[in-house]
Amino acid sequence: QKDLEPMFTQASNEALNAFGDGRCFVEKYVETPRHIEVQCLGDGTGNVVHLWDRDCSVQRRHQKVVETAPAQGLDPNLRQSILNDACNLLKNA
């Protein structure tokens, strides 16, 4: 914890030098994250449908190695919420 403030300052300085903006933020650590994607189709007039979900959590160097569809072990209520949110996002884009 004693190193947090100087490390945050260092990161901010690096960001400022590299990008001209030193703003930084701290995110909550997620111990077992999953990368869930939803593919959608829209017709440009507000009609959007989803093509279900897939789990792309297995990655190497930020490249997907395995995609599993549908995402295994995803709570049905969470799945429906993710699918609805994806469609609503695109309808309002």
Report pLDDT digits (tens) over 28-82.
Answer: 999 989 999 999 999 989 899 999 999 998 888 888 888 899 999 999 999 999 9
Query: Which are the contacts of 87, defined by CB distance < 8 A and separation ≥ 6?
Result: 40, 48, 49, 50
Amino acid at 23: R
This prediction's pTM: 0.69
User: What is the model's pLDDT at position 55?
Assistant: 93
User: Is the pLDDT assigned to residue 1 strictly greater than 80?
Assistant: no
Tally Cβ neighbours within 10 Å of residue 18.
9
Amino acid at 62: H
Beta-strand runs (E) in the chain: 36-42, 48-60, 63-68
